[in-house]
Amino acid sequence: MLFEDLSLSKSIQKAVFEEGYTKPTPIQEQAIPLILAGTDLIGCAQTGTGKTAAFAIPIIHQLHRIVGSSKKSKQIRALVITPTRELAVQIGQSFNTYAKYTNLTQLTIFGGVSQNPQVDELKKGIDILIATPGRLLDLHKQGFVNLDHLHTLVLDEADQMLDMGFVNDVKKIVKLTPKNRQTLFFSATMPIAIRELAEMFLTDPETVTVSPVSSTAEKVEQRIYFVEKGEKRNLLHSLLHNENLTDVLVFARTKHGADNIVKALRKKNVAAEAIHGDKSQSARQRVLDAFKNKEIGVLIATDIAARGIDIDQLPYVINFDLPNIPETYVHRIGRTGRAGNGGIAISFCGKDEHVYWKDIQRLIKVDVKTITDHPYQWHSGSPEQTESKPKNNNRSGKSTKSRKSDASKKNKKRWY
pLDDT at 129 over 60: yes
- What are the Cα distances from residue 143, in Å, to 108, 122, 138, 176, 256? 17, 10, 9, 12, 38
Q: CA-to-CA distance for 217 and 219, rounded, in angstroms? A: 6
% of the chain exceeding 70 in pLDDT? 84
State the angle between helix axes of 26-36 and 51-67 in degrees (0 to 180), rounded to the nearest 10. Answer: 30
Residue 199 and residue 233 in one domain: no
pLDDT band of 394, cuts 50, 70, 90: very low
Q: Residue 209: what residue type? A: T
pLDDT band of 22, cuts 50, 70, 90: confident
Residue 87 and residue 111 in one domain: yes
* 248 within some domain: yes
* 303 within some domain: yes
Tell which wins on pLDDT, 154 or 191: 154
Residue 24 and residue 91 in one domain: yes
* 337 within some domain: yes
Indicate the residue among 209, 228, 262 that finishes a domain: 209
Closest CA to 299 of 320, 282, 281, 278: 320
Gyration radius of the chain over CA positions: 24
* 228 within some domain: yes
- Residue 203 main-chain phi, psi, to 5 deg: -120, 120
| 92-121 pLDDT tens trace | 999 999 999 999 999 999 998 899 999 999
Task: Note whether 359 and 326 are within 8 A (CB).
Answer: yes
Average pLDDT on 247-260 reads 92
Tell which wins on pLDDT, 276 or 218: 276
Q: CA-to-CA distance for 155 and 236, rounded, in angstroms? A: 37
Closest CA to 117 of 95, 98, 141, 135: 135
**DSSP 8-state assignment for residue 217:** -
Buried b (16+ CB within 10 A) or exposed e, 314-333: bbbbbbbbbbebbbbbbbbb
DSSP string, 344-363: EEEEEE-GGGHHHHHHHHHH
State the angle between helix axes of 281-292 and 85-98 in degrees (0 to 180), rounded to the nearest 10. Answer: 60
- What are the Cα distances from residue 405, in Å, to 362, 380, 398, 408? 28, 16, 11, 5
Burial (0-12, 13-18, 19+ Cβ within 10 Å), 145: buried
Which of 225-239, 334-348, 366-380 shows the lowest per-residue confidence on average (mean pLDDT)? 334-348
Residue 305 and residue 357 in one domain: yes
Q: Is 96 helix (H, G, I), strand (E, B) or coil?
A: helix
Q: CA-to-CA distance for 118 and 107, rounded, in angstroms? A: 8
Give pLDDT, residue 115: 95
Q: CA-to-CA distance for 246 and 249, rounded, in angstroms? A: 9
To 10 degrees, the CA torsion angle through 23, 88, 70, 19?
Answer: -30
Average pLDDT on 366-393 reads 71
- Residue 128 main-chain phi, psi, to 5 deg: -130, 130
Residue 93 and residue 149 in one domain: yes
Give pLDDT, residue 413: 30
Average pLDDT on 74-81 reads 95
Closest CA to 19 of 93, 82, 92: 93
Q: Is 259 helix (H, G, I), strand (E, B) or coil?
A: helix
Q: CA-to-CA distance for 360 and 366, rounded, in angstroms? A: 9
Residue 39 and residue 181 in one domain: yes
- Per DSSP (E only), the strands in 156-244 are 182-187, 206-209, 220-226
* 412 within some domain: no
CATH of residue 99's domain is 3.40.50.300
Residue 238 and residue 152 in one domain: no
Residue 197 and residue 232 in one domain: no
* 401 within some domain: no
pLDDT at 392 over 90: no
Note if the pTM is more than 0.85: no
pLDDT band of 138, cuts 50, 70, 90: very high
Residue 55 and residue 200 in one domain: yes
% of the chain exceeding 90 in pLDDT? 52
| 179-208 pLDDT tens trace | 999 999 998 878 788 888 899 999 999 999
- Average pLDDT over the chain reads 84
Residue 57 and residue 204 in one domain: yes
pLDDT at 223 over 50: yes
Closest CA to 130 of 160, 102, 152: 152
- List the domain range (segments joined by +) for residue 271: 220-379
In the chain, the number of structural domains is 2
* 143 within some domain: yes
Which of 59-68, 192-201, 402-411 shows the lowest per-residue confidence on average (mean pLDDT)? 402-411
pLDDT at 409 over 60: no
Closest CA to 26 of 54, 47, 5: 54
Which of 26-30, 149-153, 232-236, 309-313 shows the lowest per-residue confidence on average (mean pLDDT)? 309-313
Helices (H), ranges, 106-201: 116-124, 133-141, 158-163, 167-175, 192-201
Q: How far from chain centre, in Å, is Cα 153? A: 21
Tell which wins on pLDDT, 86 or 305: 86
Residue 197 and residue 249 in one domain: no
Residue 225 and residue 178 in one domain: no
Average pLDDT on 62-80 reads 82
Q: CA-to-CA distance for 184 and 248, rounded, in angstroms? A: 33
Give pLDDT, residue 306: 72
Average pLDDT on 18-25 reads 86
| 318-348 pLDDT tens trace | 999 999 888 788 888 888 866 556 789 999 9
